Structure 1
Amino acid sequence: MSKFKFKLQKLLDIKIKDEEESKLNYTKAQNQKKLVEDNLRNLELNYEKYSDISSVSDVVTQKITINYLASLTQSIKVTNEQLEREKLTVQKRKEELIERQIKRKSLEILKENESNRLKKEEERVEQITNDEFALYAHIRKKANAS
């Protein structure tokens, strides 16, 4: 059997490289989204922790706590917006990854089909050769028997 050489192998290699790059970008986007989610969770925990200002006795501390809570509220709002952007980025990266996987798989299917076609053709030629050998052996046997 001859060595199979796929004509589009370089293109397939490029598609594999692109897919790996997309996987990396997708993972980075997921990690960034996770960081933003963790930051948001911490801000919300801090807000809950300091939201009960009735336990604070003096007015100055209450005023500082109210200002801190206002700052936390603003930070939570900004972080929520950032989280939405990160979710969109993750979705975009996921779609990009899926698209690149489809392109790679399409080329791999072409490669497999071409390989199977070549293999079947070689098997057909081998079968014809074997049939010819069997025919020659049969003719020789018949000629020797006569």
Structure 2
Amino acid sequence: MAQKFKFSLEKLLDIRKEKEEESKRKFTKTQKEKQETEQRLDALKENYEKYNGIRPGEDLIYQKIKKNYLFALNKGIEQTEKELIAKTKELDIKRKELIEKQIERKTVDILKEKKKVAYYKELDRIEQLQLDEMALYAYVRNNKSIHN
């Protein structure tokens, strides 16, 4: 009596797993982009600190070029900070979406497990009834032969 459990919502479970995997990929991609933005921001700030200030022996032309470079770095830092804020918000959204997809998949997974347990309990119950019935027939047969 080796019957195999067949879940009627297997297709739905597969779809939910695919959506969860897609959401994981998007989350990972966004997380990587955020890290790259953070690294770019750190590099810009490091360069700003490196070239900020006037050092002895710098001529006027070099100071003017450096000032323009620092201005460009400052604009880059401002822009990258805005980009980092946007990436952080996007990452939060992707995280929430991923959690939602995981919950949706887990819901169907739990349903599958409950149905599986119920299915095998029913199989065990039917098997026990059959065994009880066979035992009863054997008992009746044995008692008939003793009384006859």
1:36 corresponds in structure 2 to 37
1:1-146 equivalences under 5 Å are 1-146=2-147
- TM-score between both structures, scaled by the size of structure 1: 0.96
- SS of residue in 2 equivalent to 1:74: helix
In structure 1, runs of 5+ residues without a counterpart are none
CA contact (8 A) 1:33 1:86 kept: yes
Equivalent AA in structure 2 for residue 99 of structure 1? E
How far is the alpha carbon of 1:144 from its aligned partner? Answer: 1.9
Poorly superposed stretches of 4+, deviation over 6 Å: none
Equivalent AA in structure 2 for residue 71 of structure 1? A
How far is the alpha carbon of 1:52 from its aligned partner? Answer: 2.6
- SS of residue in 2 equivalent to 1:55: coil
CA contact (8 A) 1:12 1:104 kept: yes
Query: How many pairs were matched up?
Result: 146
CA contact (8 A) 1:53 1:65 kept: no
CA contact (8 A) 1:26 1:90 kept: yes
Deviation string 1:12-68 (CA, Å, 9 cap, x unpaired) is 111100000000000000010011011001001100110132335211111111111
User: Which piece of structure 1 moves more, 132-141 or 49-58?
Assistant: 49-58
Q: RMSD between aligned alpha carbons?
A: 1.0
Q: Go from structure 1 to structure 2 and tell me whether the alpha carbon gap of 1:145 and 1:70 turns closer, same or farther (over 3 Å shift).
A: same
How far is the alpha carbon of 1:2 from its aligned partner? Answer: 1.7
CA contact (8 A) 1:15 1:104 kept: yes
CA contact (8 A) 1:56 1:62 kept: no
Q: Distance in 2 between matches of 1:55 and 1:34?
A: 37
- TM-score between both structures, scaled by the size of structure 2: 0.95
Q: Distance in 1 between matches of 2:36 and 2:81?
A: 12
